[in-house]
Every structure is written in structure tokens, then in C-alpha cells.
Amino acid sequence: MNKDIKLHQKDLPDGIDFNNSDRIACDCEFNGLNFDRDRLCLVQISSGNNDAHIIQLNRENYNAPNLKKVLTNKNIKKIFHFARADLAFIKKYLHVDVENVECTKIASKLARSYSSNHGLKDLIKEFIGTDISKQLQNSDFGGKLTEKQLNYCANDVIYLHKIYDDLIKILTREERIDLYNNAIKFIKTRVDLDLAEFSEDIWAH
């Protein structure tokens, strides 16, 4: 597959607003999973045409108005994998709520009850037939990015459209689509609970 990878500094360039797309795939990179200690480094976006726009954010002020406009556009569906973490970092550092969110990890857990493996690598192998490396998942995304890192970042978004479509077909076939839709409605609240440090199951005894 020939990937069209573009690296942007600080923000999306003017004129790239994805208004011609009804949906985009999104992902984030951060140097750890602690919201207060580890800062948001990158946001990746794909329109589904083997393209990947990788925005390396200004971590001094996170001033990215064009990116924020895309993320808050209610007319564009945003497909994430493990949206819970990405949305929390976006809200913490970009100070916006992402609108019209879908999540392939939630969809996978509800659709693929035949498997206990719901990582993106597993979904790409099953639905795309490609075995990708996640070796760079724990690399430093805060500095100058290597070609291998850029390719890794692109892999996290370019396959999500097809994976999402295939999972929705299974959810519909197995009559679990309403369950998925209701779970997605809760995701903003789940993010707020995480940011308020209520990471445990609040329904547990």
C-alpha cells in the first residue's frame, strides 16, 4: 500500500478541513498515559484514502485552531480506536470535546465476543489481512520524528474506516448495534470520570 503521509507542525494547514468527508479516522500519541505528567504530542487524521495527516503539536500552548475546528465539527464522524484515552488527552490539552465519536475498540469488544484480543494490531490482521508492528508504540513522540515513527502513526489511522465498517456489520447481524450506540453515548462521561480520577468501575460493589 502506498501511503500519503504529511507531517504538519503545530496545526492543520489552512484549507485542510475535511468538510468533503463525512467521516475521518483519528488517533493520538502521547509519551505515557498519565494525563498530568505525560503531554499530548501528536494527532493523526485520515480521510480513508490511504492518507495520514500527522500534526505535531506545539506543547507550549497547544494553539491549533484548525485542528480544533475539525475535532468539534458535528457533521464529521471521528473513528478512534480506544477513544477513551485519546479524548481524555485532547480535552486535557486542547480543551475541546470531540464531537460525533465512534470507537473500534468498544465495537470490537461487543462484536467479537469470539475473541479476547481487541488491540488494533489484532483487528488489522483479521479485517485487513496485514500484520503490522507495534514496536514503536512506546517510542518518544515529543521530538524529531523518524520515518519509521511516521509510518507507525499512519498505520494507526489508515485502516480504521474498513475495520469500523466490518465491525458495524457484525454488530448489526448479531443485533448488538443498539448496545454499541448506547455505549458510545456514555463515552464523554467516561472521559470526564477519568479526568476526575475516577478510573475504577463506579458500578462495582
What's the helix, strand, coil split of the chain in %, to 5?
40, 15, 45
Q: What's the pLDDT at 202?
A: 87
Return the half-sphere exposure (C-beta side, CA atoms, 13 A cut-off) of residue 201. 3
Task: Give domain status of residue 202, yes or no.
Answer: no
pLDDT tens-digit series, residues 113-137: 999 999 999 999 999 999 887 767 7
Instruction: For the chain, give the mean pLDDT.
Output: 95
Which structural domain range is residue 106 located in? 4-195
Q: Rounded mean pLDDT of 6-21?
A: 94
Please state whether 98 falls in left (phi above 0), alpha (psi between -120 and 50) or beta: beta
Please, what is the Cα angle at 132 between 100 and 9, to 5 degrees?
A: 55
Say how far apart CA 128 and CA 110 lie, in whole Å: 19
Task: Give domain status of residue 201, yes or no.
Answer: no
Task: Give domain status of residue 188, yes or no.
Answer: yes
Task: Give domain status of residue 22, yes or no.
Answer: yes
pLDDT tens-digit series, residues 28-72: 999 988 888 999 999 999 999 999 999 999 999 999 999 999 999
Going by their DSSP bridges, the two strands 101-103 and 77-80 should be labelled as parallel
Strand partners, 40: 30
pLDDT band at residue 102, thresholds of 50, 70 and 90?
very high
| Structural domain count of the chain | 1
In terms of C-beta distances under 8 Å and separation of at least 24 residues, what long-range contacts does 35-39 make, across chains too?
A: 35/88, 35/89, 35/92, 35/194, 35/195, 39/93, 39/142
Task: Give domain status of residue 204, yes or no.
Answer: no
Residue 180 neighbours by CB under 8 Å, 6+ apart: 106, 107, 110, 111, 171
- pLDDT for residue 199 is more than 80: yes
CATH of the domain at 100: 3.30.420.10
Q: Rounded mean pLDDT of 3-19?
A: 95
- pLDDT for residue 2 is more than 90: no
pTM, two decimal places: 0.95
Q: What's the pLDDT at 144?
A: 95
Q: What's the pLDDT at 36?
A: 86
Task: Give domain status of residue 205, yes or no.
Answer: no
Q: What's the pLDDT at 7?
A: 98
Residue 174 neighbours by CB under 8 Å, 6+ apart: 111
- pLDDT for residue 138 is more than 80: no
Report percent pLDDT > 90 for the chain. Answer: 86
Residue 153 neighbours by CB under 8 Å, 6+ apart: 5, 27, 29, 42, 44, 52, 54, 145
Task: Give domain status of residue 203, yes or no.
Answer: no
